[in-house]
Amino acid sequence: MKAKVAVFGILRFPPEQVEQVLPHLHELVRATYENDGCIAYDLAEDPFDKGLIRFSELWPSRESLENHLKAPHIEPWRQQAKKYGLSERVFNSFDLSSDALPV
């Protein structure tokens, strides 16, 4: 399946809360792959900036991304993120107009 939309984003948590957030992030990723039609949904803590979680996502369409944002598992995730001190959230989406090329 060809990706038509890419998303890059960050979430920031207090570094001491990341271990408690990880099970909830795992559930978010699992539910997203199972239900939302994503092509790739990856995240990791930045090794140079503790507490900063970086996301990269590939979606087959803008509609599939929009449906993901309204999916039933998103609001429970957002509540857990607040509980563990989410202090920053920045996500941007990009329409992909060409095939990926190796670099």
Domains and CATH numbers, the chain: 5-92 (3.30.70.100)
pLDDT at 101: 84
Here the tokens at position 84 are: 């563990």
Number of Cβ atoms within 10 Å of the Cβ of 11: 20
Q: What is the mean pLDDT of residues 79-98?
A: 96
The answer to whether residues 37 and 60 touch, using CB atoms and an 8 Å cutoff, is yes
Q: What is the mean pLDDT of residues 10-38?
A: 96
Measured CA to CA, the distance from residue 75 to residue 2 in angstroms comes to 28
Reported confidence tier of residue 98, pLDDT bands at 50, 70, 90 = confident
Reported confidence tier of residue 70, pLDDT bands at 50, 70, 90 = very high
The answer to whether residues 10 and 88 touch, using CB atoms and an 8 Å cutoff, is yes
Q: What is the mean pLDDT of residues 83-92?
A: 98
